[in-house]
Homo-oligomer: A and B are copies of this chain.
Amino acid sequence: LRSGLPEVIYAAGKSTQQVLEIFRALAVSGVDVLATRVAAEAAAAILAEHPSAQHHELALTVSLRRSETARRGHIAVVCAGTSDLPVAEEAAVTAETFGAEVTRLYDVGVAGVHRLLAVREQLDAADVVIVCAGMEGALPSVVGGLVGVPVIAVPTSVGYGASFGGVTALLGMLNSCSPNVTVVNIDNGFGAAYTATMIARAGER
């Protein structure tokens, strides 16, 4: 069922040597490859060996795509600003690597709802929306109330004090008063995008 999808490497806690070897083995087999949480050194090593691979520094990903097939499904990735970008980009790059069309909406926050209303048209065009937010994690609820499609909420570990490394955002999202919101682990941009591409693809069938 899932043939044709990229193989994924979670590089966190693996040595450069380990990441390189797994990447090589997958690349040789001809499939598309996506590595997430790749440190700078490991990324450099992969690119030296696979010049056609793409390194996204902010997303901490390296991806190797063999054929540019037509994109299927539209995903909007939403966040409030600078600090949430690494997680939002992990989601966006993953979704693109898995073949979806991605719209980035990176400057909308709950303390300024007018910016959110200003991008409503772009939100409405999406088959599914990924919302990344730290601190109080309130953005998915507001977005969820505006759109008629599933919202996948990604709590980020952004904040200090009683943000508890993303736990406050996570709890807020689980208690969302918008019923179209489901939630993934803190900072898990990859998982959100993986599920979002499944949903968006169905919407394109």
User: Which of A's residues lie within 8 Å of B, judged by CB?
Assistant: 1-2, 8, 12-14, 18, 80, 82-83, 109-113, 116-117, 124, 127, 135-138, 141-142, 144-150, 152, 155, 157-188, 190-192, 194-195, 198-199, 202-203, 205
Contacts and interface: CB of A to CB of B under 8 A. Distances in A.
A55 to B, nearest CB: 19
Copy count, this protein chain:
8
A174 B183 contact: yes
Contacts of A176: 111, 135-136
A22 to B, nearest CB: 9
B185 A174 contact: yes
B137 A177 contact: no
A198 B190 CA distance: 22
Contact of A183 (B138, B141, B183): B183
20 contacts: A12-B160, A13-B83, A13-B158, A110-B138, A110-B177, A111-B177, A113-B145, A136-B176, A142-B142, A155-B161, A161-B175, A161-B186, A162-B167, A162-B185, A168-B171, A182-B182, A182-B195, A183-B183, A202-B202, A205-B205
